[in-house]
Structures are given as C-alpha cells and as structure tokens.
Amino acid sequence: MNAPLLRVDGLRVRFPVAGSPRGLVAVDGLSLQVHRGETLALVGESGCGKSTVARAILGLVRPESGGIVFEDVAIGGLSGAAMRRIRPRLQMVFQDPWAALNPRMRIGELIGEPLRFVDRYDAAQRERRVRELVAQVGLSEAVLERHPAALSGGQLQRVCIARAIATAPSLLVLDEPTSSLDLSVRGSVLALLRRLQAETGMAMLFISHDIGSVRRLADRVTVLYLGREMETGPAATVLDAPVHPYTRALLEAFLPARPGVRPRRGRDLGDLRSPLAPPSGCVFHPRCPDCVARCRSEPPQIAARGERAAACHVHPA
C-alpha cells in the first residue's frame, strides 16, 4: 500500500488548567492515517477531543508529544512561516460558517482571499478562479457582491467550502460542517462534498457526532472517547457490526431521520466523565455495561484484526 497522505502517531495534546497539576489532556496517544482520496470520519460525543485533533493537524494548537506527517513532511513542530507554506494543500472547514467569515467582506473577496497567498495567481486569474469556485459549489455569481449577512446558513457553508478548496488542497479537514444546518440543507452539503471529492481526488478528515452523515460520507471510521481511540475500521463494518461497547452506545443513541425507522434502544450510560479527572484503567469503564475487574485497573491497548482495531479487554477486534 502507498504511504498515507496524513499519518498521526501517538498524538497527545494537553491544556494547562489553573489548580490542576495534570491539566486537561484533550487527546491522549491517538494514532491515525488518512490515505489519498479517502474519507476518514472521527466520531464521538462533544468533548471527546475530535476538534482538538483537527486543530493540532492544522497547527492551530501545539501537541505536547507525538508526530504528524503530511505528504511525507513532519509538520507537528513547524514554525508559523513554514506551516503557511503547507496550508494551501491542507485546508479546514469550520463548524460555524457565520463565525468563520468576516462579515465586512463581500463573498467574492472572501473566496478569493486564499489565492492572494498563492504565487501563480494574478488579479485577473484570481477573479476567474473565484467564478469557477462559486459555480463548483452550486452558487450563482450574484452572491459574489453580497455580504455574509445576506446569505443563508447553507449558502455560507458552501462559501466556506469554496474558500477551502480554492488552493486545490490534497486534504480537507471538516469540523462538524453540517451540525448547524437544517436536515434538508445538510443532505445537499454532504452531496456536494462527495461530488467535489470525486472531481478533485482530495482526501477528507470528517469530524462529526452525526452517525447518519458519517454513514453517507466516510470510507473508514475512528471512534474517540476522552481523547483515546476506542475502535477503527471500515465505515460499514464499524457502523453495522460494532465491537466496542462505546461504539454500540453511540449507535443506540442515534435517532434516524427517516420516518418509520425504529431507533435502537440502549441502556442509559450516564454522562461523559470530565477529562480533568479521567477514570483509571479503561476510560470508558464507569459507563460500560460489560465492565470487568481488569477494565478498572488496566488501560486496554489497541488490538488489530484485519482492517479493524479496538481497545477493549472484553471485546477485542
């Protein structure tokens, strides 16, 4: 197999917290790979570390330890200037399109702004490229003279996607890109992402807690809990036949959007534990219905079998 486009090895991100000598460990020893042209989904509850992983990859937060290799270049500790040279090929779409766009700039300026940092575009070429991009994401040229306040949430997220693909990235990181959108708009944005991936061949790291969106978009899935990997594998395998109790709980909590489809009924496992004081042993054990004595004292290691891997003493992959 070819070398992965993105490789993350043993990533650990810790934030200092007043009064806590340990601080908040948002990501704890995570490893993952994204190959060219594929979509890897990071799945888990709010607060499990998904967005911190994205920001570490983009260089927006600095890891405490671990390696990040993108296109065979170690980028985990690059300076700001060196990272700016990487960013045209590594772009991000944020969760909130209203917060991601400068409200004082016109849409044409917002989409064309990344091109100002790419040497091969002069002013006329930037203008042509902006018109190509707005058409590529399914918007009319009429929006180019408008400000963000004049557009709907779905239109604004399309603008954010146009900005992100302006420099033809090889990897697009999407942090909950549809969570603030209506259900019907969400479907159209997911269809747009699938079409753009087919047209450009870019890879995607798709961060979401929405199982329905993950099922539509992802080739592989990694499940996170309190910053640690619980299960990884092909999307169909993980979502249709999960082995880790936490993955099963996520699927049981998912409410299908289609009328007539019965949701799964699972146990109430209680609330997510605080990352400031994670449990000993397996971090999921206080909520796990299958917990045994070993789970309380010994952290499970990731064990792989074929394309699937899981971190569970009771249900190994």
More confident residue, 53 or 47: 53
**Residue 263: inside a domain, yes or no?**
no
**The pLDDT value given to residue 92:** 95
Q: What is the largest CA-CA distance in the chain?
A: 67
> What's the mean pLDDT in 57-79?
92
Strand partners, 228: 225
pLDDT in tens, 295-315: 999 999 999 988 999 999 999
Q: Which residue has the tokens 């190959």?
A: 35
The answer to whether the beta carbons of residues 138 and 117 sit under 8 Å apart is no
**Residue 33: inside a domain, yes or no?**
yes
pLDDT in tens, 186-200: 889 999 999 999 999
Residue 213 has pLDDT above 60, yes or no: yes
**Residue 298: inside a domain, yes or no?**
yes
**The pLDDT value given to residue 1:** 57
Provide the CATH number for the domain around residue 187. 3.40.50.300
Write out the residue range of the structural domain in which residue 75 sits. 6-256+272-310
Q: In this prediction, what percent of the chain has a pLDDT beyond 90?
A: 74
**Residue 118's pLDDT band (cuts 50, 70, 90):** confident
Label residue 53 exposed, middle or buried (CB < 10 Å: 0-12, 13-18, 19+): buried
**The pLDDT value given to residue 257:** 56
Q: Total structural domains in the chain?
A: 1
**Residue 143: inside a domain, yes or no?**
yes
**Residue 60: inside a domain, yes or no?**
yes
**Residue 210: inside a domain, yes or no?**
yes
**Residue 14: inside a domain, yes or no?**
yes
Cα→Cα distances 44→118, 119, 184, 206, 250, Å: 36, 39, 23, 12, 8
**The pLDDT value given to residue 198:** 95
**Residue 119: inside a domain, yes or no?**
yes
pLDDT in tens, 229-283: 999 999 999 999 999 999 999 998 876 655 555 555 556 666 777 888 889 999 9
